[in-house]
Amino acid sequence: MRGLILAEGTTEWHYGAWVALDLRLLVFVILISILAAVGITLLSAKRRNWVEYAALGIVSFTGTFIVFVLILNTLADYPVFAVRSFFPFP
């Protein structure tokens, strides 16, 4: 009941968007990021614990994925994720 009263009392509009996703490019970026993460992890191979290898792999995968998506979306003008339109809804 409390949520219903709060929902009726707000007059803010919420916005949604249609997002286009290029699946072939996304798979390519994921594979390149995995290869880069494995390469970075193997290059820094010292006698460490497996948790440190896993953490380095996750961080390097995430970093390279973000960098590749930003490069493709902005510099190359070939978007992985593209927002097609915004629309309001109550």
Q: Give the torsion sign (CA, 65, 31, 26, 80).
A: positive
Specify the residue for token string 């219903």.
4
Predicted confidence (pLDDT) per residue in 10-33, tens digit: 556 677 788 888 899 999 999 999
Chain-centroid distance of CA 62 in Å reads 8
Please work out, in degrees rounded to the nearest 5, the angle formed at the alpha carbon of residue 87 by the alpha carbons of 86 and 90.
145
Mean of pLDDT values over 78-88:
83
pTM for this structure? Answer: 0.72
Q: Which residues contact 85 (CB under 8 A, 6 or more apart)?
A: 17, 18
The pLDDT of residue 5 is above 70? no
Query: Predicted confidence band at 88 (pLDDT cuts at 50, 70, 90)?
Result: confident
Which pLDDT tens digit goes with each residue over 28-64? 999 999 999 999 998 987 887 889 899 999 999 999 9
Residue whose tokens read 């409390």: 2
pLDDT of residue 1: 45
3-class state of residue 63 by DSSP:
helix
Distance CA 66, CA 75 (A): 13
